[in-house]
Amino acid sequence: MSKALDGIKVLDFTHVQSGPTCTQLLAWFGADVLKVERPGVGDITRGQLQDVKGADSLYFTMLNHNKRSITLDTKNAKGKEVLTRLIQTCDILVENFGPGVLDRMGFSWEKIHAINPKMIVASIKGFGPGPYEDCKVYENVAQCTGGAASTTGFRDGLPLVTGAQIGDSGTGLHLAIGILAALNQRNATGKGQRVTAAMQDGVLNLCRVKLRDQQRLAHGPMTEYSQYGEGVPFGDAVPRAGNDSGGGQPGRILKCKGWETDPNAYIYFITQAPVWEKICDVIGAPEWKTDPDFAKPVARLPRLNQIFGRIEDWTMTKTKFEAMNELNAHDIPCGPILSMKELAEDQSLRDTGTIVEVDHPKRGKYLSVGNPIKLSDSKTEVTRSPLLGEHTEEILSAVLGFSAAEIAAIREAGALDPAPKRA
Ligand code: COA
């Protein structure tokens, strides 16, 4: 079967998480992704959080499937010649170096555009143009500067970061969307362009409901926030709202049977207005259907603690799965809190390729997240991540057309292997 991005070559200069997320997705859609890594070192995550001695870490393998690896010292004169050839040959360059790195390497946008006017150059940085544009950024910095941390957690607690990597993986996905749009425009114009995604912008984009709420504050208290029902006044910035729903249908995390010993015996329960009467019947509170304090959504807002307390009395008599089955039978929106262990063992996620088992020559079998985006005419087949420099010779000869003698000269010049250790 053909793939959506067949024929597209990606010069992958990415490292750590944000950029690799983007290029892995392009690889899953069928692009030929050539990951350029520093000789002897490679992507720093190969050696970070290592669980199997001598094997690339899961951090690396889970972000670099379906790619080929070439080691190349791009600060070496011969290495720069190879890089120039890669730029001439590829359609897209993706990088998430620190600010200014590509320029210092001698490959500014202007230079790349002159070498290959069709090339799309896609970059992730921590911040866009402005006071922080020169700063290096990691995931949690982006969560803190993009509005996620100030709005996550409980009102009386610290700002919190979330386990979802919205700064890294989130921005990688944003960048991939920009690249695909630029590819489409190139089909019409024949010209490449720059695509940039800043992590702060990506996080803020994902936190848009909180910017919505910031503006609503000027027009009175936000009645769906628990603190409204608790009589706690609002300040001048969006508060942390615990597990309150971010939408117009109040929701909470509630205890289920076994919560005393199981840290994940909970369910998210949404009191969606259209199914309110069914909720009343299921939890054994039919009188609320007609009681003026509970019958209408507006009347319920100041009483959310009382309402969720009563619902919790019911959920605590069920396991989270029993509760979900009963609630789903009545179209009541809810979701059990699933642990990573439960997700890893979920057969339906294996069946759809959302979780895949991959074999690796140095670590054996491991689980990874597969492509969450399913295309009916471009199926994703997840293949293992490359070893460092595994495809150096293959790329130099088969992709770039260097002869054996030329490759020997490049190697001799020290562009491919680690510099020899001084005595
Ligand atoms: N050959 C020779 N040198 C290479 C090379 C190669 N193949 N690949 C990288 N390098 C060099 C670069 O030239 C640069 O050297 P310089 O600083 O002397 O110019 C250096 O390696 C890499 O620098 P940098 O990207 O800044 O790495 P870092 O480890 O210092 O910082 C980050 C890591 C993630 C903080 C930084 O890259 C960053 O802020 N990136 C943008 C935001 C981002 O994506 N953050 C999230 C990462 S998940």
pLDDT digits (tens), the chain, 423 positions = 899 999 999 999 999 999 999 999 999 999 999 999 999 999 999 999 999 999 999 999 999 999 999 999 999 999 999 999 999 999 999 999 999 999 999 999 999 999 999 999 999 999 999 999 999 999 999 999 999 999 999 999 999 999 999 999 999 999 999 999 999 999 999 999 999 999 999 999 999 999 999 999 999 999 989 999 899 999 999 999 999 987 889 999 999 999 999 999 999 999 999 999 999 999 999 999 999 999 999 999 999 999 999 999 999 999 999 999 999 999 999 999 999 999 999 999 999 999 999 999 999 999 999 999 999 999 999 999 999 999 999 999 999 999 999 999 999 999 997 544 443
Q: How far apart are CA 50 and CA 173, in angstroms?
A: 26
CB 52 within 8 A of CB 44: no
Q: What pLDDT is recorded for position 418?
A: 59
Q: How far is the CA of 146 from the centre of ligand 1 (A)?
A: 22
Q: How far apart are CA 27 and CA 45, in angstroms?
A: 19
Ligand 1 first shell, C-beta below 6 A: 16-19, 36, 38, 72-75, 96-98, 101, 104-105, 124-126, 136-138, 168
Nearest by Cα to 76 from 422, 423, 417: 417
Residue 315's alpha-carbon distances to 104, 257, 270, 334, in angstroms, are 59, 7, 13, 11
- With the most atoms of ligand 1 within 8 angstroms of its CB, the residue from 21, 136, 417 to mutate is 136
For residue 287, give the 3-state DSSP assignment: helix
Q: How far is the CA of 231 from the centre of ligand 1 (A)?
A: 49
Please list the helix, strand and coil fractions of the chain in percent, rounded to the nearest 5, in that order.
40, 15, 45
Q: How far apart are CA 1 and CA 3, in angstroms?
A: 7
Q: How far is the CA of 99 from the centre of ligand 1 (A)?
A: 8
Instruction: Look at ligand 1, atom 44, and give the residue with the nearest C-alpha.
Output: 96
Q: Specify the ligand 1 atom closest to the Cα of 18.
A: 48
Q: Specify the pTM.
A: 0.96
Q: How far apart are CA 53 and CA 362, in angstroms?
A: 9
Give the position of tokens 């130099």. Answer: 396
Burial, 109: exposed, middle or buried (Cβ in 10 Å; 0-12, 13-18, 19+)? middle
Q: How far is the CA of 101 from the centre of ligand 1 (A)?
A: 7
Q: Which two tokens stand for residue 236?
A: 């001048």
Q: How far apart are CA 201 and CA 216, in angstroms?
A: 21
Q: How far apart are CA 355 and CA 371, in angstroms?
A: 8
Nearest by Cα to 24 from 383, 378, 355, 363: 383
Instruction: Look at ligand 1, atom 33, and give the residue with the nearest C-alpha.
Output: 98
Q: How far apart are the first and last CA of the chain?
A: 54
Helix (H) or strand (E) holding 267: strand 266-270
Instruction: Look at ligand 1, atom 31, and give the residue with the nearest C-alpha.
Output: 98
Q: Specify the ligand 1 atom closest to the Cα of 19.
A: 44
For residue 375, give the 3-state DSSP assignment: coil
Q: Which two tokens stand for residue 84?
A: 């120039």
Residues 6+ apart with CB under 8 A from 130: none
Q: How far apart are CA 314 and CA 305, in angstroms?
A: 14
Q: How far is the CA of 95 from the centre of ligand 1 (A)?
A: 9
Instruction: Look at ligand 1, atom 22, and give the residue with the nearest C-alpha.
Output: 97
DSSP 154: -
Q: How far apart are CA 286 and CA 364, in angstroms?
A: 56
Beta strand 92-95 pairing with 9-13? parallel
CB hemisphere CA count around 31 (13 angstroms): 23
Instruction: Look at ligand 1, atom 20, and give the residue with the nearest C-alpha.
Output: 101
Give the position of tokens 């969307």. Answer: 177
Q: Is 12 a catalytic residue?
A: no
Q: How far apart are CA 190 and CA 299, in angstroms?
A: 59
Q: Strand pairing partners for 252?
A: 269
Q: Which of 168, 244, 281, 291 is catalytic?
A: 168
For residue 181, give the 3-state DSSP assignment: helix
CB 193 within 8 A of CB 110: no
CB 404 within 8 A of CB 397: yes
DSSP 395: I
Instruction: Look at ligand 1, atom 15, and give the residue with the nearest C-alpha.
Output: 101
Q: How far apart are CA 274 and CA 266, in angstroms?
A: 23
Instruction: Look at ligand 1, atom 35, and give the residue with the nearest C-alpha.
Output: 136
Q: How far apart are CA 9 and CA 396, in angstroms?
A: 14
- With the most atoms of ligand 1 within 8 angstroms of its CB, the residue from 11, 34, 37, 101 to mutate is 101
Q: How far is the CA of 68 from the centre of ligand 1 (A)?
A: 20
Q: How far is the CA of 105 from the centre of ligand 1 (A)?
A: 11
Q: How far is the CA of 232 from the centre of ligand 1 (A)?
A: 46
Q: Specify the ligand 1 atom closest to the Cα of 171.
A: 44
Give the position of tokens 């695909």. Answer: 180
- With the most atoms of ligand 1 within 8 angstroms of its CB, the residue from 97, 105, 168 to mutate is 97
